[in-house]
A and B are shown apart, each in its own frame.
Chain A
């Protein structure tokens, strides 16, 4: 167990090193950092001074080491556009994104797995077929169209829910939450559904496919031949074996939730990190782009570490060795 986790940790560090190298090269190859700091009309002397201040004339390797050192401390420098420390900006907006992703993930997992099991077990019933057809429409709907449709229906047409923004937040100083007030929930519900729908259908279809796969195996046939009840066969034998591959994919897809939060946040003007990233790309605000890249990779790596540990708990073949 210990070595298994240690090896995974090593791989994660490697991934982070490469991602940080990519985001470091963003600074160097996308635009001229000096131009971005001082503007077009600075004198030659000013530029040279800034170059020296930033250490841009040092060897690339020592620049990278310095970048890594700063990164580990969460220091990504100043935003070119807003001229504030990037880590402050991200921390400020992090709660909004994480709450959105969390609520969406819960919706996607609970509904997706339930419906997946149902359609896997009750194959051929009309309810299953209906769910499957609808789910195919679900994977075909781009996130931004779902968002627009929900806004039009619930905000413009019915006027039940707000169309954009985050409200009803309670500030704990280090975390602003919108999950404790009715207003907060009214604001988060549309974006959360928008974000979860694609993942939900994906999970649904995956659980069903895995279920069908497992049901074909010999041990299910043998369980039936022993006269075990359908319930025991479906839940004790089939479902648990389905979970192993499903956990992996869910791990990967949580990364997808973070990615698509960029789109959802744009559609709903949700004040999270995704919206900030899009604005940063528009203005080529490299420090924010680089920091966001590292931040997403970090989240992804952490999620996958959790998935590996889950694997360990579910599958005795990994836990106990061959």
Chain B
């Protein structure tokens, strides 16, 4: 820490960073990151990896419907995880479904984050009536649990849209519904962090220099509030993926024509009692592994970013 130290290269500094160090020294985090990366990459590159295209009617035949996984009696080798009721290859459908789930989750979290962080910083820094109004709205929204609100927004969204556009816009409506229910969390945390930061002397110094409020918020306060936001964003991503799956499972979300993991489980659930377990089982496992990996990452991040626990 002395002046005489030679400046480190970027890579050395990166490796020396406590957070990076703690990452490579916690097996849980490495495993989680690996699983998450594999699952996420597999889903994102689904069109390249998947053996079949579940949206291409030419590749689907009802004759191949309800086939069990390849290693079970009656299974066929080209359908590794079996097929669903319409004869689509389970593995391909899961990859495509996971892709949609991740995209919806990411988009919803980004929407909630941008909205919440902006309102939170403004609320905390400006204070007064602005703060009161924003935070009361957040309070009221928190009275209605997120998933309920998402169901409601989603329900209203579908009614407001003309019939023929419903399926087409269903994905956007879901993103909007989840993103809009997410923002109070971000706003509250950002506001809290902003209140702490705004009282610190470096912000006072910036005010004495004469910088305008927006510049102080953007350059000084925002970068210093991002740590807790990052943690919530990760956990929020997990929750958003669950929320999307839940909506779709309840039949409120993404229509069966463009399957997400939740839709797949919903469809499969109808066949569970007749013994066709794989139609539900594999999408469910994929969903849980995906969410678990994201949660593990968030968990590690919370510990690593908490200076008190180090």
Contacts and interface: CB of A to CB of B under 8 A. Distances in A.
**A–B in direct contact per CB < 8 Å:** yes
A144 B296 CA distance: 21
Given A30-B156, A259-B147, A293-B152, A137 B292 contact: yes
A233 to B, nearest CB: 19
A127 interface: no
A26 interface: yes
Interface in B3-57: none
Contact of B291 (A18, A140, A277): A140
Interface in B88-145: 136, 139-140, 142-145
Nearest to B238: A140
B272 to A, nearest CB: 6
B145 A255 contact: yes
B167 to A, nearest CB: 16
Interface string A78-108: 0000000000000000000000000000000
Given A19-B143, A30-B156, A259-B147, A148 B246 contact: no
Nearest to B261: A142
In which size bucket is the chain A interface?
Answer: 35 or more
Given A145-B287, A156-B272, A255-B143, A31 B159 contact: yes
Contacts of A293: 144, 148, 152
A300 B142 CA distance: 9
Nearest to B283: A145
Contacts of A71: none
B152 A145 contact: no
Interface stretch (B196-204, B224-232, B248-256): B248-256
Given A140-B238, A263-B250, A145 B265 contact: yes
A151 B308 CA distance: 43
B87 interface: no
Interface string A227-270: 00000000000000000000000001001101110110010000
Contact of B295 (A139, A143, A151, A258): A139
A148 B269 CA distance: 8
A252 B291 contact: no
A50 interface: no
Contact of A281 (B151, B160, B238, B292): B151
Interface in B181-216: none
Nearest to B139: A15
A261 to B, nearest CB: 10
A309 interface: no
A15 B308 contact: no
B253 to A, nearest CB: 12
Given A145-B284, A156-B273, A262 B292 contact: no
Interface in B266-297: 269, 272-273, 277, 280, 284, 287-288, 291-292, 295-296
Nearest to B150: A259
B308 A216 contact: yes
A142 B287 contact: yes
Contacts of B140: 15, 18-19
Contacts of A137: 288, 292
A297 B269 contact: no
Given A140-B288, A148-B272, A213-B308, A289 B152 contact: yes
A278 B151 contact: yes
Contacts of B58: none
A142 B155 contact: no
A211 B245 CA distance: 33
Contacts of B143: 15, 19, 255, 296-297, 300-301
B162 to A, nearest CB: 13
Nearest to B266: A144
Nearest to B290: A140
Contacts of A223: none
B242 interface: yes
B146 interface: yes
Interface string A21-37: 00000100111000000
Interface string A189-233: 000000000000000000000001100100000000000000000
A161 interface: no
B136 A14 contact: yes
B65 to A, nearest CB: 21
B155 A144 contact: no
A30 B160 contact: yes
Interface in A291-314: 293, 296-297, 300-301
Contacts of B160: 29-30
B299 interface: yes
A141 interface: yes
B147 A152 contact: no
Nearest to B302: A209
B165 interface: no
Contact of B147 (A140, A212, A262, A281): A262
B309 interface: yes
A29 B155 CA distance: 13
A171 interface: no
Given A144-B250, A216-B308, 18 more contacts: A15-B140, A18-B136, A31-B159, A139-B238, A140-B288, A142-B288, A142-B291, A145-B287, A145-B288, A152-B272, A156-B273, A259-B148, A263-B250, A266-B250, A278-B250, A278-B252, A293-B144, A296-B143
11 contacts: A137-B288, A142-B242, A142-B245, A142-B287, A151-B272, A152-B277, A213-B308, A281-B252, A296-B144, A297-B143, A300-B145
Interface of A: 11, 14-15, 18-19, 26, 29-31, 136-137, 139-145, 148-149, 151-152, 156, 212-213, 216, 252, 255-256, 258-260, 262-263, 266, 277-278, 281-282, 284, 289, 293, 296-297, 300-301
